[in-house]
Amino acid sequence: MMYGIQYNGLKDTDIGVLVVSRPSVPAPEPKVTTWNIAGRDGSLYSSDDFYDDIQIFVELNFMAPVNEWAARARQIKQWLLDRKKDKRLYLSDDMSFFYKVKNVSVGEITRSSKRIGNLTPMFTCDPYMYLSTGENDYSADEVKQNPYMTSRPVYRITGDGMCTLTVNGNEMTANVGQNLTIDTDLMIAYRQDGTLQNTAITGDYEDLYLLPGENVISITSGFNLSVSPKWRTL
């Protein structure tokens, strides 16, 4: 079976490129603070449970007629450098998860023959792998059990008036006018039409994170709540 990737909503074969070999994916490095204390052997280390970005190099090649080679190279660059799409990287043998790409460096596109081109773009990614189904919307009961690491969900509320969203005993109050989306990762609140509603809420976004294990989620009676859990792991 041929190995491939999917990025920005397109498979490599959709663009006319092939993956030479499965890329090696590094484990993320925790952000660690080091102290050296006079009169003490070794160093002291502390971690705040944050991680550095990872870099994934994917070796690609492509073949095109001589008079179409340059056009194909431009198409590939446009695919990789387009910042307006979903910027998710999938590896074909693990399509249940994706990486959030923060930046792509295409580097040099070499021409090993008149028809064949080679490149190894570098994808700089968020340190986490995200479960594809974690992008879907669920009821509060369906996401109360988090089998992964702490996640930063999106809450969608429908109804009218003041309500209180409670997660693990932490409260956020919101003035909802028909609908309200609370994105705890971007730390913004907005309506479905994109209108910002940050002044309509009171509380801390971090308090709404879904912790590993059991979570307790509730909302004021008369309002409907759906949750996109954004499950993630290393």
**Of the candidates 134, 107, 197, which has an alpha carbon nearest to the alpha carbon of residue 189?**
197
Closest among 176, 213, 205, 170 to 188, alpha carbons compared: 205
Contact 153, 227 (CB under 8 A): yes
Average pLDDT over residues 143-172: 96
pLDDT in tens, 42-65: 655 556 678 999 999 999 999 999
The answer to whether the CB of 78 falls within 8 A of the CB of 69 is no
Mean pLDDT for the chain?
92
pLDDT of 72-110, one tens digit each? 999 999 999 988 778 999 999 999 999 999 999 999 999
pTM over 0.75: yes
Scanning the structure block, which residue is given the tokens 């340059």? 70
Average pLDDT over residues 158-171: 96
H/E segment holding residue 12: helix 12-15
User: Sorting pLDDT into bands at 50, 70 and 90, what band is 1?
Assistant: low
CA 7 to each of CA 32, 83, 87, 102, 138: distance values in angstroms, whole numbers, following the listed order:
31, 11, 6, 12, 25
pLDDT of residue 41: 62
Strand locations in 64-208 (E): 88-91, 97-105, 110-111, 116-119, 122-131, 145-146, 154-167, 170-183, 188-190, 201-202
Q: Give the CA radius of gyration of the chain.
A: 22
pLDDT above 90 (res 173): yes
Give dist(CA 178, CA 26) in Å, integer.
Answer: 44
Segment 149-167 mean pLDDT: 96
pLDDT digits (tens, 9 = 90+) for 200-211: 999 999 999 999
